[in-house]
Amino acid sequence: MIIGSCKVYMNAPFSHSLKEKRMVVKSLIQKVRNKYNVSIAEVEDQDLHQSIVIGIVAVSTTTSHANSIVQNVVNYIEEISEADVIDSYIEII
């Protein structure tokens, strides 16, 4: 069993409240869940209204497949998100 995990750091400069941020994060998480079979959640900075940190985990049988899934999710997030992706860290275990 191979586990691919990723943290995606994002900035939402348009967000002026936690309510606005929650709407963006909730929409983003739902879109990713509908398209990919991964676990995804907001994992850090939940009380900061312009900072978003999303955690993604995928389980696979091969390293290359796990890496591919996680990378595809990150690319998808960059395409659909209103927030700016600052950085992402992928780890394959």
Residue 76 is predicted with a pLDDT of 96
3-state secondary structure of 93: coil
End-to-end CA distance of the chain: 9
The pLDDT value given to residue 78:
93
Query: Is the entire prediction scored with pTM above 0.85?
Result: yes
Assign domain 2-92 to its CATH superfamily. Answer: TT1725-like (3.30.70.1120)
Specify the pLDDT at position 73: 96
Could you report the average pLDDT of every consecutive run of 10 residues in the chain (93 residues)?
95 90 93 94 90 95 94 94 92 92
Please name the residues in contact with 91: beta carbons below 8 A apart, sequence gap of 6 or more.
4, 5, 6
Q: How confident is the model at residue 15, as a pLDDT?
A: 86
DSSP letters spanning 51-73: EEEEEEEEEESSHHHHHHHHHHH
- pLDDT single digits (tens) 75-86: 999 999 889 999
